[in-house]
Structure 1
């Protein structure tokens, strides 16, 4: 796995929790991942500071903090019990932090080997894992960020492949490195997906284009980008898939039978200044399985 030594040497699997079903799915998945990696599990619940309009009301502030603290501690206790059911041998710690979800989890991600969130949460003051939080973490996280959605595939990882999009970009290379490691951890096959489509040429020149030759070229390009990885991971079965389609649509389709989809935060077509590319954003919204987003430096934008 690419990433800083701090993240790869003993960092925990961090998971954000709230009362939502999505967060409970994230806790289950994160506990299994911690067990798989031999890493500790860190459960984090956050509640927002006192609403600005009531800062000058000491009574309300005290009541708000007490109620929110009790509720959040209950959520952490429930999450810890759930994690123990999934991975009883994993060292687990829980912490309640005051703050807004994004900065709290971004800070946690800087010391994590993996940061896990649900795809959606409750919203409001008690909700931690709203969709915008998952997107923000995927774009800016200090570690790879897993957004748990669809069917996590518990107990069937070896039968389901890890899917990765391959486009030759810096984030794509980081995603490829991480995808091989994830496949090796699961003893699962790896499906390397390379897509190609030229909307500008196809309508006018389709009758004159040798599509078979183009597909052969794209297949050779995929083989080139995978060169060397088989030597590093000889036990990982690799299936190459070259598709004349848009990347997001092809990867969403492949996610239906996958244990995990790995994607770079920004691909070859990413616009400068965008923290999260259209392909990774589409997967976070529509994938049928958990999505793991990585940056070129091993974190979550490049």
Structure 2
């Protein structure tokens, strides 16, 4: 029998975990999925004597917990959002590696992870686990920005989806349409092109093709704009009062994204209360 789909919340023993779990539970409820909580931690025995704890700093109480104590704490968190049956795990190891492997599980449909915000360069310097996951996760990653709350899902107004000419555009729209349907809201597909007079003729047919795959029960429309994709998306988010934006994965490592530019990473630095869903191209 096929395992039920699940929403996996990536936790780190910080004061932000409560909101991440609440958002994960809301996503699970609306998509008909199970809820799973996974907390990662580095065992001191696996770290060198001169190792420095990564940011954000974990409280001494959490750091001293045993695996069983961590999992009981996670179970209490799950119960507080109405999911006492949630699968709760506390696994040692580098967070990005553990989460990337967990996201490949057959049952995991969504990964919820927090982000500290800021530029992609800041993410490189601080070693952002979530930003590093975007190209390696086995499922869409719902990135929770610092000021995001459950209102992004309970009162989203619209789901804005960014598309381009890449082969991954169909998959990105498919995920965005599923999410818009689950949230009972409108899907707005945005395609931005450079203002050079050339590619504009291909925009409308592309939007028409992508919109044709949206299920009939999901209200959807396309918007073609010229200029910066990030500016176009931010404008669309504000105009639609949208709580969620969906985009494709960067398709490059975090350092290369910092040097060469990346729509998802740049967009994450400009969001305030929205949740960004990044869809891998595999």
Whether TM exceeds 0.5 here: the answer is yes
Which residues of structure 2 form unaligned runs of 5+? 52-59, 118-125
Residue of structure 1 equivalent to 2:266 = 282
CA contact (8 A) 2:191 2:229 kept: yes
RMSD: 3.4
Q: 1:22 to 1:241 in 2, by over 3 A?
A: farther
Alignment check: 8 A CA contact 1:173 1:296 kept: no
Question: Does the C-alpha gap of structure 1 residues 251 and 93 become closer, same or farther in structure 2, counting only changes over 3 Å?
Answer: same
Matched, 1:114 2:99: no
Q: Which has the larger radius of gyration?
A: 1
Alignment partner of 1:25 is 2:13: no
Q: Residue 138 in 1 paired to residue 123 in 2? A: no
Within 5 A, what are the aligned runs for 1:223-234? 223-227=208-212, 229-230=213-214, 233-234=215-216
Cα distance in 2 for residues equivalent to 1:182 and 1:252: 19
Check conservation: 1:13, 1:41, Cα contact below 8 A: yes
Q: Distance in 1 between matches of 2:86 and 2:75?
A: 7
Cα distance in structure 2, aligned partners of 1:182 and 1:67: 34
Q: Distance in 1 between matches of 2:130 and 2:101?
A: 14
SS in 2 for 1:170: coil
Change (3 A) 1:21 1:67: closer
Alignment: residue pair count: 255
Listed one character per residue, the Cα deviations across residues 176-205 of structure 1 (whole Å, up to 9, x for unaligned) are 11001111111110011011114xx4xxxx
- Secondary structure of the 1:152 match is coil
Aligned pair in 2 of structure 1 residues 73, 255: CA closer, same or farther (>3 Å)? farther
Do the aligned residues in 2 keep the contact of 1:45 with 1:72 (CA within 8 Å)? no
Inter-partner Cα distance in structure 2 for 1:168 and 1:261? 18
CA apart distance, 1:47: 1.4
Judge conservation of contact 1:118–1:134 (CA < 8 Å) in 2. Answer: yes
Offset at residue 34 of structure 1 (A)? 1.5
Question: Given the two structures, how large is their TM-score scaled by the length of structure 1?
Answer: 0.72
Partners in 1 of 2:144 and 2:244 — Cα distance?
9
Q: 1:175: which partner in 2?
A: 172
- Is 1:248 aligned to residue 230 of structure 2? yes
Consecutive unaligned residues in structure 1, runs of 5 or more: 56-64, 122-129, 202-208, 298-302
Provide the residue aligned with 2:55 in structure 1.
none
Structure 2 counterpart of 1:41 = 35
Q: Which structure shows the bigger proportion of residues in strand conformation? A: 2
Match of residue 68 from structure 1? 63
Q: Which residue of 1 aligns with 2:243?
A: 259
